[in-house]
Amino acid sequence: MSRIDRGGDRPKQFAPRRTIEGVEEGLLLAPKFNAEGLVPVVTTGASSGEVLMMGVMNADALLQTIETGEAHYWSRSRQCLWHKGAKSGLVQKVMQIRVDDDQDAIWLRVEVAGIASCHVGYRSCFYRSIPVGPLGETPIILTLEETAKVFDPVAVYGHAPNPTQL
């Protein structure tokens, strides 16, 4: 049995969404998950403010994150609960969790137990930038903002399947 006790379909730890005022101005957590049962999560470095990654959580991932103080996500590619850093050691220790005004997005401020958050080996998952300006007739060329990986993914993950899906 899950450590998360549920009352019906909604975990008892989440308040019902009864009024707009209650959701926007109230003090009870009443997250709004999309049709797939997910809520987007932006994760930044607690000290640097740098965006480390973007992910999603289902109710279990959000509750596990709250309960353990370590980031848990729903892996869309693996279709399972994912404790960030469980395999790599790059655990994200949660320093603060924020929810937006209508409670349909989460912001985690974390400290990473290590030097990176990206499974590709870069410090941040946002290691490329998109140029701004007139569009041509060819594919847009990205700019690499982090020029060196901070760890070797094969050394950290071995030959585990890559979670990236085409």
- Can you list the domains of the chain with their CATH numbers? 20-149 (3.10.20.810)
pLDDT digits (tens, 9 = 90+) for 34-52: 999 999 999 999 999 999 9
pLDDT digits (tens, 9 = 90+) for 40-97: 999 999 999 999 999 999 999 999 999 999 999 999 988 999 999 998 889 999 999 9
Rounded Cα distance between 120 and 123, Å, is 9
Q: Which distant-in-sequence residues (6+ apart) come within 8 Å of 52 by Cβ? A: 43, 44, 45, 92, 110, 112, 117, 118, 123, 124, 125, 126
Contact 117, 123 (CB under 8 A): yes
* One-letter amino acid of 111: E
Mean per-residue pLDDT, 122-130: 78
Q: Enumerate the β-bridge partners of residue 56.
A: 40
17-48 as b/e: b if 16+ CB within 10 A: beeeeebeeeeeebbebeeeebbebbbbbbee
